[in-house]
A and B are shown apart, each in its own frame.
Chain A
Amino acid sequence: MDKFVSEKDNVLIVWQQKVDESVMKTSLNVIQTKVGNAGTVSVENAERLNLSGHHQSVFDVALFGLFSADEKYSDSVFTEAARILKPNGKIVVQPNVKDDSQTKNGSISQLKLCGFVNVVEESLKEPGSGDVTVIALVGNKPSYEVGSSTSLKISFGKSKPVNGNTSAKQVWSLSALDMDDDDVELIDDDELLQEQDLVKPDAESLKAPCGTGGPKPKKACKNCSCGLAEELEAGAKPKPKPVSSACGSCYLGDAFRCASCPYLGMPAFKPGEKVSLGPTQLRADA
């Protein structure tokens, strides 16, 4: 296929199935020598081609099936090739040798549908290929740009100026089309931090507001009858009391019990349940 390549060409080589590395190297060397130092050779896997983000109109020649003819390419790969080829650039596809003519014709129409013109079959005589006539499909990108347009000179007055933010949004949306592109350069997020971001909260700010950190003031339950309520009212410090439950709140859960209730920590009692206290609970204010 090297006969389609000339000196100083920018060549794109697209492959699909993995072949022996030495085979790839040999073929690549041939092309590389032919284009010389002034040309370039880019090798792309078909699946990655759309993600590689080549600029449009950069390649002179695109070769498909250089390493292995046993391949079929999707429309989107050919469309992308049409975009990144220069106007009048050449596409060469080596179709499957075992294919019958119908599929070959199919391939011709596929290339045409993807935007190529002058698509023809050309025979390749490769060394070592013996009697097998190897066929390649060759086509050209049109001399105009894909999707290009000429503005018609009809003026309806001034067009709106392009808003800076609108174009920023477009760049953003384009960037978002490929979320998994690992080659995009990232900022070092550590550099976003400023001096004050490294400061941690001091211990004082972590305390509950108005809480002094000391023991919490005791609270009496709603129907307090053990004297705690009166004591608190009188401003006296509550003293530990012997176990007694006359307030009627003990059977309720902790939410309703006195701060000195011996049943604290136990579930609410069910009607008729016999309640017994362990030694730790009998110790007042444990």
Chain B
Amino acid sequence: MDTFMNNTNTDDDRHRVVVLFGSQTGTAEETSLRLAMQCRGSAFRCHVSPLDAYDIKNLVNEKILIFVCATTGQGEPPDNMKRFWKFIMRKNLPSSSLDDVKFAVLGLGDSSYAKFNFIAKKLHRRLEMLGGRPLVEVGLADDQHEWGSDAVIDKWVTKLWGTLLRDFPTPAGKSSPLGNSLPPPGYHVATYKKENNQEIREQEFGTFDEKHPFEAKLIENRRVTSEGHFQDTRLISFDISSAQSDLVYQPGDVVMIKPQNLEENVKEFLEILSLDPDDLLTFDPIEDDDITMDLPRPVTLQRLASEYLDFMSVPRRSFFQLLSHLAKDENEREKLIEFGSPEGTDERYSYANRPRRTILEVLQDFHHTASVIPLNRILDVFPLIRPRAFSIASSPTRHKGELHILVAVVRYKTRLHKPRRGLCSTWLSRLREGETAKLWLRSGGIRFPWERPCVMIGPGTGIAPFRSAAHERHQVGESGDVIFFGCRNELGDFYFRDEWEEMKVRLHVAFSRDQEEKIYVQHKIAQCGSELWDLIDRRGAYIYVAGNSKNMPDQVKEAFLELLRNNGNMTPEQATDYVTKLQQSKRYQQETWS
């Protein structure tokens, strides 16, 4: 009856595929966008969205659902799928809700953590329970694989399309998502030569988030490790006084910061691509799978390169694949095809991943191809810069109008001549007084109680949230807290050594390298057995662990288990049970990062 409609809109006969992701570091998002790119020009019409941005009430009416989700180090769902998680686990959802839905789940995890890919595994089981029919088995990508998560992702994606194509064969005139041809571009691009009127800067107002960040002026950028110490760690203070009513934080909260590329790298990048930094561009998505862009309209290439394109990351297989289609130089094309093919994975790993080679460095090797990348492919070829999360180190009362973060500057060597640098930490370390950073808050990290003592364990930069808590709690008259800090040397990286006395906390410090044998926070915890047992059991103390070490949280937990056995006279089972209860009642909280 509506045949004339179908004739006017060729998209009506495409099968809707909804890709929903829960992303922690950006891999899930990138993988989802790649799926969308494969759909371009095919019989499938792709809609991509972060899980929490999708209108959940429509889920039961979808036909094909693809979930791509990470699992955090603690086995929790990523932040942008927490609301979804709380919904899908509701007991009252009928078991036939998803009877009409076919689904597939791809998990992104790391098998060096105990709860490897737990979110994907749980989600897959839950969707089946609600009546959904799986298209393929759950995919369990693993960062620990020699070839990284791509080893599983590539195979899983191929299998998924294979299954879907059996049900929905590609009609004439459409391309296959598995075809090895260049997909149509995702954006219309218009260019202007720069005139007197600058690009339009977006207005800031209301609450601040990724699309509307607050531009905070830097007050101070102070090195807190001694001059001779190998690690450069900075305490960076931002002025947020002009937005105080909107940027309200508590100890334990996290600030998101959007880093930028270093000036010299931007210059080199634009030179290699033969682009004029002052040219103005506008991007308009062709299919409506545009989700991440908060690009100003128009935007200069200079700004696009410094604030949006992540060309200092290690390239993925799809990057080489796309470039191989664009290459004109025969030599380069041949090599790009090799790196872009599944068979060339080993070569690509040796070339790019193992030495942590950046996209910019790859472009230097493939400069003929780099110079011919068309503008409408730029957003397909280059990933976007992701915001980074930092535990807030300041107290909203003691440091009124300010927000502090503690940043260890990442720098290391691989077999490449130039040292590798962390994008965000390096950029932050170079930020000077009066310059600005784009930031917004993300709450819901760890929470501190009233009228109960806290035991806080934060080695290295893990001390950041506890400096915030200790200052704040001292300001409001809380007392009796105990802090365990760990670092290498008393004179090298003992952060905030002059501040602890003012806050009247009992501080125990483990200096790992100031003596023959290595002493860590867990050893200090063991030494304070009876004091801690009394605090936990009799005074209902809360325990907090923060830091960036992979093993530390487990070793600290082990120290507490031992303490419960020795000082609390518990059996190993009783001790484990006790800690589980503490965790359930939020009296044992962790905030870890890598």
Chain A interface residues toward B at CB < 8 A: 164-165, 167-169, 171-173, 175-177, 179-180, 184-187, 189, 192-194, 197, 200-201, 206-208, 211, 216, 219, 222, 252-256, 264-268
- Inter-chain contacts of B335 with A (CB < 8 A): 255-256
A201 and B90 contacting across the interface, CB-CB below 8 Å:
no
Docked pose: A177 CA to B55 CA in angstroms: 10
B362 and A255 contacting across the interface, CB-CB below 8 Å:
yes
B25 CB within 8 Å of chain A? no
Among the 9-residue stretches B92-100, B386-394, B423-431, the one with 4 or more Cβ atoms under 8 Å from chain A is B92-100
B60 contact from A172, A193, A264, Cβ within 8 A: A172
Cβ proximity bits B81-118 to A, threshold 8 Å, 1 near / 0 not: 00101110111111111011000000000010000101
B96 and A168 contacting across the interface, CB-CB below 8 Å:
yes
- Inter-chain contacts of A180 with B (CB < 8 A): 83
Q: Could you give 30 example pairs across A and B, Cβ below 8 Å?
A: A164-B96, A168-B131, A172-B57, A172-B93, A172-B97, A175-B87, A176-B55, A176-B57, A179-B86, A180-B83, A186-B86, A187-B91, A189-B122, A189-B126, A193-B122, A194-B125, A201-B144, A206-B146, A208-B346, A216-B346, A216-B350, A252-B365, A253-B361, A254-B351, A255-B339, A255-B351, A255-B366, A265-B355, A265-B415, A267-B418
Which residue of chain A is the closest to B338 with respect to CB atoms?
A255
* A278, chain B: closest CB distance, angstroms: 9
A169 and B146 contacting across the interface, CB-CB below 8 Å:
no
Given contacts A172-B60, A189-B89, contact A206 B142 (CB under 8 A): yes
A200 and B111 contacting across the interface, CB-CB below 8 Å:
yes
B56 contact from A176, A184, A266, Cβ within 8 A: A176
A208 and B146 contacting across the interface, CB-CB below 8 Å:
yes
Docked pose: A120 CA to B331 CA in angstroms: 91
A267 and B87 contacting across the interface, CB-CB below 8 Å:
no
B331 and A256 contacting across the interface, CB-CB below 8 Å:
yes
B34 CB within 8 Å of chain A? no
A206 and B60 contacting across the interface, CB-CB below 8 Å:
no
A165 and B346 contacting across the interface, CB-CB below 8 Å:
no
* B140, chain A: closest CB distance, angstroms: 8
Docked pose: A129 CA to B97 CA in angstroms: 57
B86 and A206 contacting across the interface, CB-CB below 8 Å:
no
**Top 9 closest A-B pairs, CB basis?**
A253-B365, A176-B57, A168-B94, A208-B146, A192-B125, A185-B91, A168-B96, A255-B365, A186-B89
Which B residues, 338 to 389, have Cβ-Cβ distances below 8 Å to chain A?
339, 345-347, 349-351, 355, 357, 361-362, 364-367
Which residue of chain A is the closest to B52 with respect to CB atoms?
A179
- Inter-chain contacts of B416 with A (CB < 8 A): 265
Which residue of chain A is the closest to B125 with respect to CB atoms?
A192
A179 and B83 contacting across the interface, CB-CB below 8 Å:
yes
- Inter-chain contacts of B92 with A (CB < 8 A): 171, 175, 184-185
Which residue of chain A is the closest to B363 with respect to CB atoms?
A253
A172 and B351 contacting across the interface, CB-CB below 8 Å:
no
Which residue of chain A is the closest to B365 with respect to CB atoms?
A253
A266 and B125 contacting across the interface, CB-CB below 8 Å:
no
- Inter-chain contacts of B116 with A (CB < 8 A): 200-201
Given contacts A192-B126, A201-B111, A208-B151, contact A168 B355 (CB under 8 A): no
* B335, chain A: closest CB distance, angstroms: 5
B497 CB within 8 Å of chain A? no
B60 and A173 contacting across the interface, CB-CB below 8 Å:
yes
A187 contact from B89, B146, B350, Cβ within 8 A: B89
- Inter-chain contacts of A167 with B (CB < 8 A): 94
- Inter-chain contacts of A194 with B (CB < 8 A): 125
A179 and B56 contacting across the interface, CB-CB below 8 Å:
yes
- Inter-chain contacts of A185 with B (CB < 8 A): 90-92
- Inter-chain contacts of A197 with B (CB < 8 A): 118, 121, 125
B87 and A179 contacting across the interface, CB-CB below 8 Å:
yes
B87 contact from A176, A252, A253, A256, Cβ within 8 A: A176
B118 and A193 contacting across the interface, CB-CB below 8 Å:
yes
A171 contact from B59, B61, B93, Cβ within 8 A: B93
What number of residue pairs across chains A and B have CB atoms under 8 A from each other? 132
A172 and B94 contacting across the interface, CB-CB below 8 Å:
yes
Docked pose: A168 CA to B57 CA in angstroms: 12
- Inter-chain contacts of B328 with A (CB < 8 A): none
B59 and A172 contacting across the interface, CB-CB below 8 Å:
yes
Given contacts A179-B87, A185-B90, A206-B142, contact A222 B361 (CB under 8 A): no
Which B residues, 44 to 96, have Cβ-Cβ distances below 8 Å to chain A?
55-57, 59-61, 83, 85-87, 89-96
A184 contact from B90, B111, B122, B417, Cβ within 8 A: B90
Cβ proximity bits B551-594 to A, threshold 8 Å, 1 near / 0 not: 00000000000000000000000000000000000000000000
* B75, chain A: closest CB distance, angstroms: 9
Which residue of chain A is the closest to B126 with respect to CB atoms?
A192
Docked pose: A208 CA to B146 CA in angstroms: 6
Docked pose: A266 CA to B416 CA in angstroms: 6
Docked pose: A180 CA to B56 CA in angstroms: 12
Docked pose: A165 CA to B97 CA in angstroms: 6
B145 CB within 8 Å of chain A? yes
- Inter-chain contacts of A173 with B (CB < 8 A): 57, 60
* B163, chain A: closest CB distance, angstroms: 22
Which residue of chain B is the closest to A178 with respect to CB atoms?
B87
* B334, chain A: closest CB distance, angstroms: 8
A168-B96, A189-B85 provided; 10 other pairs, C-beta below 8 A?
A: A168-B131, A172-B57, A172-B59, A175-B87, A175-B90, A192-B121, A208-B349, A253-B364, A256-B335, A265-B355
Docked pose: A264 CA to B303 CA in angstroms: 33
Cβ proximity bits B162-189 to A, threshold 8 Å, 1 near / 0 not: 0000000000000000000000000000
* B170, chain A: closest CB distance, angstroms: 29
* B127, chain A: closest CB distance, angstroms: 10
B100 and A165 contacting across the interface, CB-CB below 8 Å:
yes
B147 CB within 8 Å of chain A? yes
Docked pose: A177 CA to B131 CA in angstroms: 21
Docked pose: A131 CA to B500 CA in angstroms: 63
* A259, chain B: closest CB distance, angstroms: 9
Docked pose: A72 CA to B339 CA in angstroms: 69
A268 and B367 contacting across the interface, CB-CB below 8 Å:
yes
- Inter-chain contacts of A193 with B (CB < 8 A): 118, 121-122, 125
- Inter-chain contacts of A171 with B (CB < 8 A): 92-94, 97
Which B residues, 140 to 159, have Cβ-Cβ distances below 8 Å to chain A?
140, 142, 144-147, 151
Question: Could you say which of B96, B346, B415 has the most chain A C-beta atoms within 10 Å of its C-beta?
Answer: B96
Given contacts A168-B94, A176-B56, A253-B364, contact A208 B87 (CB under 8 A): no
- Inter-chain contacts of A268 with B (CB < 8 A): 364-365, 367
Which residue of chain A is the closest to B350 with respect to CB atoms?
A216
Docked pose: A171 CA to B145 CA in angstroms: 42
Docked pose: A167 CA to B93 CA in angstroms: 11
Docked pose: A266 CA to B339 CA in angstroms: 19
- Inter-chain contacts of B418 with A (CB < 8 A): 267
B93 contact from A175, A252, A256, Cβ within 8 A: A175
Cβ proximity bits B249-265 to A, threshold 8 Å, 1 near / 0 not: 00000000000000000
Which residue of chain B is the closest to A168 with respect to CB atoms?
B94
